[in-house]
Amino acid sequence: MKISLIQPGRNNLKYLKWAYDAIRKNQGNHDVEICVADDASTDGTWDWCQEMMAKDDNFKAILNDTGKRLGHTILYDRLVNEVATNDIAMIYHADMYLAPGALDAIEREIEEKTIVSLTRIEPPLHPDGPEKILWNGGVEPEEFIEEEFLKQLPSMKDASKVTEGIFAPWAFYRKDFQEIGGHDPLYAPQSKEDSDIFNRFQLNGVKFRQVWDGFVYHMTSRGSRRNTLDKAKNIYEDSPEWLAQNQRSTRNFIRKWGHFVMHDRLMKPIIPPKYNIGIVVKNANLNLVEALEPWCDCLCVDVNVTEYIEKEQPNTIMDLKERVHERNECDSDVKIYINGKTFNQSDYQYINQMSQILKESGEPFAEFTLGNLYINIKGKVEYTEDLIKL
């Protein structure tokens, strides 16, 4: 199998080196092209990339020399579209050790309109889950107990088990990726871009397979979230930069899809319908505007919104002037009327679950109250499929 591994990196050179060594040791008889993007690193990553390109014909790299972080949301796509030359590619993190036999499992399962995820073996830095294996083989490359890991590996494998989760590392046909337009720059530099593209793959008919006899050992979150060489205080706390961006990306995900990220216990996406929702608020205030704006396509309020738009617009590429209005009515399929004086936390929870509530109501035309909300459905059209392609 010919496969291109896609690896953006920012100030995580020691992990890139560790990942590279494991790939070359354990790639078996597969032809593996390693594609790296240096995202304005200051730790010597580009010097190493140049050195590797000079001695490894199957190592390719590009440099973001702007001095400003682009993030993997952008650089994944540049590597897939501009650098990779194989039909099959895999989104791969710098803090991953490729286990022997992993690419054999991908080759067995991969086909067009199918994405194959390897199972992650991780130290207990995050909560356990049924989609991964917790096993403490070290939390830094210099601590990794490789010999013991290789010894334990056969007992972890289950070739008969294939589930439907999707997460990194995930292998795919580049044409399936390009058909939907790749990652959405709405989430740049990072966070929630994976959940967005997974939704879009599934809606476009792509099937997911997680193999349980193909593994990576995953240090977890060293790309930026807990990279101590890039603003994280330690490997146990998320960096302030990542937390702020995660909040921005969460709000953008809600703006686009109308709900929080949802998936089953094995990480297969759950995608409620997207409806055209307008919220009309009387007795509004700017706190309510901030809380409600992501949850609708049109927000109409009786308060000046200039200050909110000026503050929030840098956090999204969506035009907030098209979403937030100082008026008392909106033209939407579904309208939700709110009185700011009586709106409470229970009402807000209903707003958070409105996609599911509308789906379960089954009524294309209806008027009803829910808590302090008055809801008018004048035509329930699903727009979910409009979100598939960029």
Q: pLDDT at position 361, please?
A: 85
- State which residues of the chain have pLDDT below 70: 229
DSSP letter for 213, please: E
Say what the pTM is.
0.96
Q: pLDDT at position 362, please?
A: 79
Structure token digits, residue 212 = 């349980």
Q: pLDDT at position 368, please?
A: 94
Angle formed at CA 184 by CA 253 and CA 379, multiple of 5 degrees: 55
Q: pLDDT at position 7, please?
A: 98
Q: Show the domains of the chain with their CATH numbers.
A: 2-257 (3.90.550.10), 277-387 (no CATH)
Q: pLDDT at position 328, please?
A: 85
Start-end of H helices in the chain: 13-26, 45-55, 72-78, 102-109, 146-156, 174-179, 193-203, 240-257, 286-292, 306-312, 345-352, 354-361
Q: pLDDT at position 89, please?
A: 99
